[in-house]
Chains A and B, each alone.
Chain A
Amino acid sequence: MADKLCALRTFHPARGGEASGVAPGAGDQSFSRTRLLVRRATPFAAVAAIFAIQALADARPVLAFPLYLTVVLLVSLQQNRVESIAVAVVAATALLIVPLASAGQTSDLAPAVLLAAVILGVAIAMSALGRHARDAAAETQHRLDELAASERRLRATVESTGVGLGLTDLEGRWLQANEQLTAILGRSRDAIAGTTLVEGVSERDRTALTEALSLLRSGDVARWDADVSQLRPDGTEVPVALFITKLPNTATGEPLLLVQSRDTSVSQRVDALRDCAAAVRQVILTSAGLDQGVPQVLGALCAYLAWDAAEFWGVDPDRQVLRVRHSWNASGAVVDGFLHLGRRLAVASESGLVGRVWKSGVLAADADLEHSADFDRVESARSAGLRSAVAFPVVDGGEVVGVVELVSERSRIPKDDEVMMMATAGVEIGSFIRRSDTAQALRRSEADHRAIFERSPIGIARIGAGGDLVEANPALLGMLEHDQETMREIAWPELLHAYDQAASRQHKAPFLAGITDGSSVQVRAATGAGNWLWLQLTATPIPDSSGRPEHVLLMIEDVTAVRETSDKLAESLDAQREANANLEKLDRTKSEFLSIVSHEFRTALTGIQGFSELIRDGGLETDEVRAYGGYIFNDADRVNRLIGDMLDLDRMESGRMTMRSAEVDINDVLTEAVSRAAPSASNVEFKADLDPRLPIVAGDRDRLIQVVSNLVNNAVKYSPEGGTVTITSRAEGRFALVSVTDNGIGIPAEEIGHVFERFRRVRSGAAQSIPGTGLGLTIVKQIVEMHGGKIWVESAVGHGSSFHFTIPLAPEGAESLQLRHA
């Protein structure tokens, strides 16, 4: 290598030309034809000139011989054999011409022939020598040619390599440099001469490089490499990988430094692009939202791609304009004014750089903002020292949803790989925006639903597909007086059971069978505190993405108040209905009462009116008048009794009747009653079985007589001719028990429960003929009960009836009274 580089120096004398070891012109293939002819003709011309001088001087050939010999020798040395011999022949001929022409002067011919022979011999000998010499020269030339070709190849290699190569002395002064190195250094080859390696790098790298040269000089290291920044005369810097090797110089013996310098700006940009893409992706993947993520993306673009500021322009959906949504300042306060202006702008489609990008959907760059045709913030950009801008679309699903604008203080046009990277970033940001929008919409929706769930006055429960309670809202917990856990463990299973029961009653599907009609059921449920509520349950199944019910939302309303109101309404309606029925019954009873009473009155009045009319009209016998008067009297008396009964009952039932309470001998009462009844009861026989030791009772004697008389009269009325009415009395515990028994027609079983009701006279069969008010037994029962006793009846149709009643004994009444038998 060293040898070749030494050779390289011969071709490219950077420091001026150096002597070549090869004869000038030899092997030079660029001789002109003219020059060749001149060269070839020159010896002949010389011979001719010598001959002319010899002839003119009429000199002797021997005098011209040295001249001829000189020409032939020169030609032999320089020309090929044929030319040498040809010149020798011509010279010999010239020597021979004069002697031959003088013909007789043989003395001159012989020496001339000798001289000619010498010349020919010399020429032949010389041509042989010259051929040998030419062969050697040709060999040398061939080697040189090969070396030159090799050097050309090497040079081409050196020149065409991407690596800058150069040689310096041990002080770092440039001796040689290839094209790449000059490009890297940013200087012409001439300008490089005299400069040093150290002064060509940035100031921050100079110390290290100086130290490295020192080490190389001292031989402590043989090679050194580092990444440094090459400083160009125009002030720009180029990142390079520097590799320095110490070489021995075979030509001079002084060591040299071989410097390799590789421009790493391309690979660094590729790395930056790759890192930028990764950073953008990282931001998008980890960012919580647009407000956080987009500025970080802008920051990454600025940092990795070395832009000074960035803005994200979002499409305003309402106004159809672009507005700055986010910006990033990587350069400092000087750019603030520019960014501030951008935030106030609304950019229409196709307007300016960003508007153009929005419209076209493809990246656009402007490397000279100062002289831009359409950049909309020229003044502001100038103030901020910004010289170039690039804008690329943010795309989502083929639609431009925004534009990212990057600005730089340098004039730059993004390279293809940068363009590609930005396009990719635009798509990623676009999908990020959509995801964020979707996520935000979801969060908003979730927040809405959460608020509804939490704040709803209606109880809401989320039920899992398995029927488990997932969550109950506060309203539900408050309503049912449970906490979340007891709600889940206790209240919900009961509620589910109640739901299914209620649904079953309404022929609806059970809860977990899936409810689709959204209808409600009402159930009764106990709260945690034990209060009973009416709950209206409305279930809504929520399907998952495949349409299967994923869970069920259950709305629960406390309808207790409504239910209770309606229940009360129903109750009061029932009560009203019952009251109405009672009123109707009472009405019917009253109508019936009136009908019976008026019938009884009119029946009685028929006799009274008819017979009194007869008497009035006169013409009667005395006996007739007396008899008719008796009828009239009886019927009038009956009417009077009816009226009395009615008034008595009315007084008793309204509580206006007062009882006198005195010591009463029941046996006495019985005797009195029978004695009153007997005169008009000739058809029956009375029997009395009275307990003589029966204690006295406390009561109203007249009322008790009324009771017994009524029973006795009834017994008589319903007794057949010759029947027997039996009256007994005895003590029964703390009561006096009285029975009045007949062997009359009896009371049918279906009537026996009603005999004490007013106007419930036994109407069927033979009893129909028995007159009465229908109030007698009712009055009897009232009087007995007012005394604190009871009354009941035993009867069989055709065998007679037995009425029993009790009257409490008087507290002090241990004394027995003698029965005064009638």
Chain B
Amino acid sequence: MPEANAGGTAVGQGSTAGTFIVLVADDNEVAQRLCKRVLEKAGYGVLIAADGLQAVDIALGQRPAMILMDVAMPGIDGLEAMRRIKEQVPTMPIVIASAHSMASDRERFLAAGADNVLSKPFRLADLIAIVAKLASAR
């Protein structure tokens, strides 16, 4: 059922001048499409990973400006992927976007090293604001 577009659509390299590249790591296609559509429209570059291992590979290989990371994913989950990425690139901003959206979950994610948490479902403006904030900080 996962589609064959794993690997995503890279719109330039994260480190290339001008374009702020966001890696969207989510096993849910609908979520991938939504994020991609919204962030591209907002002017960011978007990379897609369908599971945790892909997320780690892409994050370390292509060095996006930030990662929007789901938690419940096959293979390794988002938290484990985040740990591995931060291990290599501690400065990589990672925002956990999870449908596990109880208060305790938020604390759990932040404690695991997340730079921010976005609860699903989210308002599109919230997604853009979080990304924009990190982009401006850069």
* Residues of chain A at the chain B interface (Cβ within 8 Å): 595, 598-603, 605-611, 613-614, 617, 631, 634-635, 683, 716-717, 765-771
Distance (Å) between the CB of A552 and the closest chain B CB? Answer: 66
What's the Cα separation between A239 and B81 when bound, in Å? 143
- Given A598-B101, A602-B120, A769-B74; A614-B30 close (CB under 8 Å): no
Q: Which residues of B contact A614 (CB under 8 A)?
A: 34, 37-38, 124
Complex contact A770–B28 (CB within 8 A): no
CB distance A603 to B120 under 8 Å?
yes
- Indicate which residue in A602, A717, A766 contacts B121 across the interface (CB closer than 8 Å): A602
B28-A768 in contact (CB<8A): no
Write out the residue numbers on chain B whose beta carbons fall within 8 Å of the beta carbon of A608.
121
Report 16 cross-chain contacts, Cβ distance below 8 Å, ordered by A residue: A598-B99, A598-B102, A599-B98, A599-B100, A603-B120, A605-B121, A606-B34, A607-B30, A607-B31, A607-B34, A608-B121, A609-B121, A611-B30, A716-B1, A765-B74, A769-B27
* B33 and A631 form a contact (CB under 8 A): yes
What's the Cα separation between A631 and B34 when bound, in Å?
A: 10
Given contacts A611-B34, A765-B75, A769-B75, contact A606 B28 (CB under 8 A): yes
User: Could you tell me the distance in whole angstroms from the C-beta of B11 to the nearest C-beta in chain A?
Assistant: 18
B37 and A606 within 8 A (CB): no
Bound-state Cα–Cα, A818 to B41, Å: 58
- Contact indicator B124/A603 (Cβ below 8 Å): no
Whether B75 and A606, one on each chain, are in contact in the complex, defined by CB atoms closer than 8 angstroms, is no
Cα A635 to Cα B28 with chains together (Å): 11
Decide if B77 is an interface residue (CB 8 Å cutoff).
Answer: yes
Q: Assess the B38–A602 pair: CB atoms within 8 A.
A: no
Given A602-B101, A603-B28, A605-B121, also A610-B38 (CB < 8 A):
yes
Q: How far is the CB of A610 from chain B (nearest CB, A)?
A: 4
Contacting residues, chain A, for B75 (C-beta < 8 A): 765-766, 768-769
B124 touches A767 (CB 8 A): no
Contact with A along B109-123 (1 / 0, CB 8 A): 000000000011111
Could you say which residues of chain B place their CB within 8 Å of the CB of A611? 30, 34
A606 contacts B102, C-beta separation under 8 Å: no
- 3 nearest CB pairs, A to B: A769-B74, A607-B30, A602-B99
Given A606-B34, A768-B77, are A613 and B123 neighbors across the interface (CB < 8 Å)? yes
How far, in whole Å, are A600 and B2 apart by their CA atoms in the complex? 17
Give the number of A-B contacts (CB < 8 Å): 81
Contact B101 A769 (CB under 8 A): no
| Nearest-Cβ distance from residue B40 to partner chain A, whole angstroms | 12
Q: Which residues of B contact A634 (CB under 8 A)?
A: 30
Given A683-B1, A766-B75, verify A595-B121 contact (CB < 8 Å): no
Does B73 touch A at the CB level, under 8 Å?
yes
A-B contacts besides A598-B99, A768-B75, 6 pairs, CB < 8 Å: A598-B102, A603-B31, A606-B28, A614-B124, A769-B2, A769-B27
Residue in chain A with minimal CB distance to B99: A602
Q: Which residue of A lies closest to B52 (CB)?
A: A768
B residues near A610, Cβ cutoff 8 Å: 31, 34, 38, 121-122, 124
- A606 and B100 within 8 A (CB): no
Closest-by-CB residue of B relative to A768 is B74
**CA A608 – CA B99 in complex, angstroms?**
13
List of A residues within 8 angstroms of B37 by Cβ: 614
Report the separation of the CA atoms of residues A765 and B53 in the bound assembly, to the nearest whole angstrom.
11
CA distance A612 to B82 in the complex (A): 30
A259–chain B nearest beta-carbon distance, Å: 145
State which of A613, A631, A683 has its C-beta within 8 Å of the C-beta of B124. Answer: A613
Which partner residue on chain A sits nearest B101 by CB separation? A602
Residue B72 lies at the interface, judged by CB distance under 8 Å to chain A: yes
Most buried by B among A606, A631, A634: A606
Among B28, B37, B121, B123: residue with most chain A CB under 10 A: B121
Interface-central residue, A601, A608, A611, A766, by most chain B CB under 10 Å? A611
For the complex formed, measure the closest distance between the CB of B35 and the CB atoms of chain A, giving whole angstroms: 8
Chain B residues near A603 (CB-CB < 8 A)? 28, 31, 72, 99, 120
Nearest residue, chain A, Cβ from B127: A610
Per-residue interface assignment for chain B, residues 84 to 120, with 1 indicating a CB less than 8 Å from any chain A CB and 0 otherwise: 0000000000000011111000000000000000011
- Is the pair A599, B122 in contact by a Cβ cutoff of 8 Å? no
B26-60 contact mask (Cβ, 8 Å, vs A): 1 or 0: 01101101100110000000000011000000000
Shortest CB-to-CB span from B81 to chain A, Å, is 12
Q: How long is the Cα–Cα vector from A601 to B101 in the complex, in angstroms?
A: 11
Residues of A within 8 A of B101 (CB): 598, 602
Residue of B nearest to A617 (CB): B124
Separation in Å of the B126 CB from the closest CB of chain A?
Answer: 11
Return B131 CB to nearest CB of chain A, in Å.
14
* Residue of chain A at shortest CB distance from B75: A768
Bound-state CA distance A766–B75 (Å) is 6
Cross-chain contact of A606 among B27, B50, B74, B99 (Cβ < 8 A): B99
| Nearest chain B residue, comparing its CB with the CB of A607 | B30
A518, chain B: closest CB distance, angstroms: 58
B33 x A595 contact (CB < 8 A) = no
Tell me the complex Cα distance, A601–B77, Å. 19
- Chain A residue with Cβ nearest B120: A606
Instruction: Name B13-27 residues within 8 Å CB distance of A.
Output: 27
A234 to B77 CA separation, bound complex (whole angstroms):
147
Distance (whole angstroms) from the CB of B8 to the closest CB of chain A? 16
Q: With A606-B121, A683-B1 given, is the CB distance from A599 to B72 under 8 Å?
A: yes
Smallest Cβ-Cβ distance to B98: which chain A residue: A599
Q: A631-B33, A683-B1, A768-B75 are in contact. Are A607 and B28 (CB under 8 A)?
A: yes
Closest approach, in angstroms, between the C-beta of B22 and any C-beta of chain A?
15
> How far does the Cβ of B74 sit from chain A's closest Cβ, in whole Å?
3
How many whole Å from B25's CB to the nearest CB in chain A? 12
Closest-CB distance, A314 to chain B (whole angstroms)? 96
A766 touches B38 (CB 8 A): no
Q: Which residue of chain A has its CB nearest to the CB of B71?
A: A599
**B51 A769 Cβ-Cβ under 8 A:** yes
Instruction: Name the distance in Å between B105's Cβ and chain A's nearest Cβ.
Output: 8
Chain A residues with Cβ below 8 Å from B33 are 631
Cross-chain contact B30 with A595 (CB below 8 angstroms): no
- Shortest Cβ distance from B76 into A: residue: A768
Assembly CA distance A687 to B48 (angstroms):
35
Bound-state CA distance A54–B70 (Å) is: 216
Query: Which residues from chain A contact B120 at a C-beta distance below 8 Å?
Result: 602-603, 605-606
Most buried by B among A598, A602, A767: A602
